[in-house]
Amino acid sequence: MNAIEIRNVGKSYGKIRALSGISLDVEEGEIFGLIGPDGAGKTTLFRILTTLLLADEGEASVMGFDVKKDYESIRKIIGYMPGRFSLYQDLSVEENLEFFATVFGTTVKENYGVIKDIYSQIEPFKDRRAGALSGGMKQKLALSCALVHKPSVLFLDEPTTGVDAVSRKDFWNMLSRIKASGVTVFVSTPYMDEASLCDRVALMMHGRTIDEGTPAQIVAKYPYRLLSVKGKPMYPLLKYLRGSEGVLNCFSFGSVHHLAIDGSRTDAGKILSGISEAGFTDCEVHEIDPGIEDCFMNLAGQSADNGKFMSDDGKRD
Amino acid sequence: MWKYLIEKEFKQFFRDPMLPRIVIVFPIIMMLVFPFAANMEVRNINLVVVDNDRTDMSSELIEKCTESGYFRLKKICSDPREAQRMMDRNTVDAILTIGQGFGKSAVTGDGFPVGIKVNTVNGTKGSIGSQYLSNCVMLFMQSRAGADVASAAGASGAVIDAAPKYYYNPYMDYKVFMVPALIVIAVTMVTGFFPALNIVGEKEAGTIEQLNVSPVSKTAFIVCKMIPYWVITFFMVGMCLLIAWLAFGYVCKGSLWGVFLFTVLHIMVTAGLGLLISNYSDNAQQAMFIMMFFVLIFMLMSGVFTPVSSMPEWARVITYANPLRYYADAMRSIFLKGSSIADVWYDAAGLLAIGGLALTWAITSYRKTS
């Protein structure tokens, strides 16, 4: 049995199509990542699976329980951490944890083993109000609260959004330990670099999945050769590269540009000499292995007008 | 689980920087300031007299009026136009016109040529002022009749002596009348707004999502939200009664059980309504405005300030849907008249009907799944 099964799920908000034809299987005991930019429909899918929202069409089940019919059973066996930090700010760390334990009909003592790893880090501050915690500590508390009733499946909706790089790393370490204890983790994130930390991922855009598989499988499917190109000034270089012979597409990745090329028409040497002659300075060109983000950009470019996507991908870092 | 849910509400309530203070300060202000401010007694009516008679008799009438304490004599003039100008300029509220031959006709017992004109820009002051003034004139006539034509009047029948006696509030003390009404208002304000804002607060904080994915039932959730406000309101009602006793010496004539029973019923209505509104609003502003709208209508149409019986027929029909009408009526009856619960059973029935409806609706419309 799969932990989560989604068959052809669709959902519209009025005229806006939030999800269409989503089908996914999440195996028991894996970390499954749902990866896509804001507005891809990740949260909608989460709300359907956590029984907060009814799908317009399709079927979905969690641990064999139907999200429509058996919602009461599902609510007993899942942990959910919504994107927005939502604990009682005016209750202390300990009180929050006790509250959520009680609400799920258990006690902190009974399941202390499940949360010990994470909770022990914030336990010294257990009398502090949740509102007075730092971002990273809030996140740990929220995770403890979502885990305190020993759920079979843990739903984490963008848990690392707005969290610093060190805390993010910390958080993923915690997830792998949670997974090791036998919990299935279903996590969404807009950060492409986190995809490699999942066992399997699904890439989402505009309410559809555009690819799924292990990170290695997705990367292996990348069809082109990829170059990393550096040079100044950046923006004119991007425009220049897009117009160059043999360049299939070109996107900016922080301080470099990633260039998909047709190997029969051009190569690293040709590009380097081309941009040097055109007057760009500090030029460097290397051949690189594609990452998930390259795959995503490529697939996104195929499945939709990528101009629109490029304008709202402010969340990449 | 229930115990912990309730405990959490109390913790949050006492940790709020504002709410516990409001619950203490609000009744104090309501009970100590409002009975004086929301006073319908009219004094200091500015009076101008147009005396066309200028006899002993007319000046006696003027004296009679001014010594009642309700009127302040501004001027005695002989030109009605001047008096009218004074009223137009708002310097006087009433004009008493004494026609020529007043002294003579008072002796003979014929009709008195006396005119009363009242400024009714302020309706209450105007209507009550004109009543006082005509009362003064009537009293004067009676006393004249008694003194001069006592024997002559014997033929035309006994002089009717109508001496009103005010039951349940013998001195017509407006404060006594207002105390139970103010308790009604305080309870309505607190129980109408607090639970509604509480639920909307959980919505805004996002914590409601966490509860929605938990196995907590809707009924448990709603009832546990209400119970703390029940307790808080009892405390507040107790405080109001205590202040009424300490500050004014008013004691509840009926049983306190009656007061508390009706308070329980009323909280069921207002809290149910508050929860209902919070289910349909996304943020605190929306909930506040909608609740404000209802609370205002409830108060104005409840008979707290103006008697329901003086409303037009259609408005009276509307008041049957107003929970405050029943609660205010019951509270006044119990507090002033000492009515028992059986005496005001219809008020209890009204509250139960509206409360049951509001609460059922609140629970069914609270959706864990959208």
Domain architecture of chain B: domains with CATH: 2-38+171-365 (no CATH), 45-155 (3.40.1710.10)
Kindly report, residue by residue over A239-261, the tens digit of the pLDDT.
888 877 788 888 888 888 888 88
Closest CA to B243 of B39, B30, B38: B30
In angstroms, the CA A225 to CA A260 distance is 6
* Average pLDDT for B209-218: 84
Contact of B263 with B350, CB cutoff 8 Å: no
Q: Where are the beta strands (DSSP E) in B99-200?
A: 114-118
Sign of the alpha-carbon dihedral angle for B168, B172, B176, B177:
positive
Structure tokens at B263: 């308070």
Q: Nearest Cβ partner of A54 from B4, B215, B369?
A: B369
Chain A: residue whose CA lies nearest to B14: A90
Domain A4-216 falls under CATH 3.50.50.60: no
A184-189 and A31-35 strand pairing: parallel
Contacts of A71 in chain B (CB under 8 A): 369
Q: What is the model's pTM? A: 0.75
Label residues B201-240 b or e (16+ Cβ within 10 Å = b).
bbbebebbbbbbbbbbeeeebbbbbbbbbbebbbebbebb
A132 touches chain B (CB under 8 A): no
CB contact under 8 Å between A80 and B205, yes or no, is no
In angstroms, the CA B119 to CA B127 distance is 9
Chain B: residue whose CA lies nearest to A13: B370
Kindly report, residue by residue over A293-316, the tens digit of the pLDDT.
888 888 877 765 444 444 343 333
For B:216-245, CB contacts with A below 8 A are 216
Q: Say how many CA atoms lie within 13 Å of B119 toward its Cβ.
A: 19
Q: Mean pLDDT across chain A, nearest whole number?
A: 84
In angstroms, the CA B355 to CA B272 distance is 7
CB contact under 8 Å between A80 and B209, yes or no, is yes
Domain ranges of chain A: 4-216, 223-289
DSSP states of B80-127 as a string? HHHHHHHHHTTS-SEEEEE-TTHHHHHHHT----EEEEE--SSHHHHH
DSSP states of B303-318 as a string? TSSS-GGGS-HHHHHH
Kindly report, residue by residue over B63-92, the tens digit of the pLDDT.
877 777 778 888 888 888 888 888 888 888
Q: Is pLDDT at A92 greater than 60 in this prediction?
A: yes
Q: Is pLDDT at A29 greater than 80 in this prediction?
A: yes
CB contact under 8 Å between A52 and B213, yes or no, is yes
* Average pLDDT for B103-127: 73
Q: Work out the minimum CA distance from A76 to partner chain B, whole angstroms.
A: 6
Kindly report, residue by residue over B172-206, the tens digit of the pLDDT.
667 777 888 888 888 888 888 888 888 888 888 88
Q: How many residues in total does chain A contain?
A: 317
CB contact under 8 Å between A104 and B214, yes or no, is yes
Kindly report, residue by residue over A42-80, the tens digit of the pLDDT.
889 998 998 888 888 889 999 989 988 888 888 889 999
Q: Work out the minimum CA distance from A196 to partner chain B, whole angstroms.
A: 29
* Average pLDDT for A137-148: 88
Contacts of B15 in chain A (CB under 8 A): 90-91
A50 touches chain B (CB under 8 A): yes
Q: Nearest Cβ partner of B210 from A54, A95, A100?
A: A100
Q: Work out the minimum CA distance from A256 to partner chain B, whole angstroms.
A: 39
Closest CA to B353 of B333, B327, B328, B332: B327
Q: Nearest Cβ partner of B212 from A52, A91, A100?
A: A52
Kindly report, residue by residue over A188-204, the tens digit of the pLDDT.
988 888 888 899 999 88
Kindly report, residue by residue over B298-344, the tens digit of the pLDDT.
988 888 877 888 888 888 888 888 999 999 989 888 888 888 888 88
- Predicted ipTM > 0.85: no
Class of the domain covering A223-289: alpha beta
Q: Does A223-289 match A4-216 at the fold level?
A: no
> Residue A312 has what pLDDT?
41
In angstroms, the CA A260 to CA B167 distance is 97
